[in-house]
Amino acid sequence: MSIAQSIVGTNNDGGRPVLDFYPTPPRGTKALFQVETFKGSIWEPACGNGAMSKVIKTFGYDVISTDIEPRGYGEQLDFFFAPVLLAPNVVTNPPFKYAQEFADRSLALGCEKLALLCKLAFLEGQERTKWLEHTPLKNVYVFRKRLDMTRNGEPLENGGLIAFAWYVWESGYTGRPMIGWI
């Protein structure tokens, strides 16, 4: 059973949607592409309803969109069972609980460049920071204004309470991560 499959059917005691479906606001995706460029096509492996994929296409990229759960956009595919990397770059807003596993999987598949939208708290934790220090994490872009997230596409009463950042890994990078604001 894949990591992603393990959360299918779990309940969400605090109202969390099954599979952590929080579509990315267009402003969140645009901000990344205003500061980063990618060589070649992009794989969005947690595409949900296509919110992020549609914005990426406006920047002229070919996007391969997949998701473990069919939501009317892209192909159904469990990222953790994909036999090969479908594009040289991966850009996604993964379920936060499995963000590190999404990064590990992308890097293990040979991804040239990886960008994950995660909570700023992704930088915290003794085990995670040890892990981060041994990855090619190049940039962390913190949002100056918090993103208004939605749950299952529905606005949240306090949708802008959590700080988010884009985390960008680049194959072969060995320096310290740089922090910027978007």
User: CATH no. for residue 8?
Assistant: 3.40.50.150
Lowest mean pLDDT among 27-31, 78-82, 158-162: 158-162
At residue 80, the 3 state secondary structure works out as helix
Most confident by average pLDDT, 10-14, 53-57, 124-128: 53-57
Domain span at residue 105 reads: 3-181
For the CA atoms of 62, 103, 25, 182, the dihedral, rounded to the nearest 10 degrees, stands at -100
Q: Name the one residue in this structure whose structure tokens are 């890994």.
A: 169
pLDDT of the residue at 12: 45
Assign 6 a pLDDT band (cuts: 50, 70, 90): very low
Long-range contacts, 158-161 (Cβ 8 Å, 24+): none
**pLDDT at 16 exceeding the cut of 80:** no
> In angstroms, rounded to a whole number, what is the distance separating the alpha carbons of residues 59 and 152?
25
Helix (H, G, I), strand (E, B) or coil at 93: coil
Please report the pLDDT score of residue 71 as a whole number: 87
Share of the chain above pLDDT 90, in %: 76
Ramachandran sector of residue 145 (left: φ over 0; alpha: ψ -120 to 50; beta: rest): beta
pLDDT of residue 157: 65
Mean pLDDT taken over the chain: 88
Q: How far is CA 130 from the centre of its chain?
A: 20
Condensed to tens digits (0 to 9), the pLDDT of residues 69-114 reads: 988 899 999 999 999 999 999 999 999 889 999 999 999 999 999 9
pLDDT of residue 133: 95
d(CA 128, CA 45): 22
Quick one: pLDDT at residue 10?
41
Strand residue runs (E) in the chain: 42-44, 63-67, 75-76, 89-92, 113-119, 137-142, 150-151, 154-155, 164-170, 178-181
Count of the separate structural domains present in the chain: 1
pLDDT at residue 54 greater than cutoff 60: yes
Residues 6+ apart with CB under 8 A from 121: 163
Contacts of 36 (CB under 8 A, 6+ apart): 113, 115, 139, 166, 168
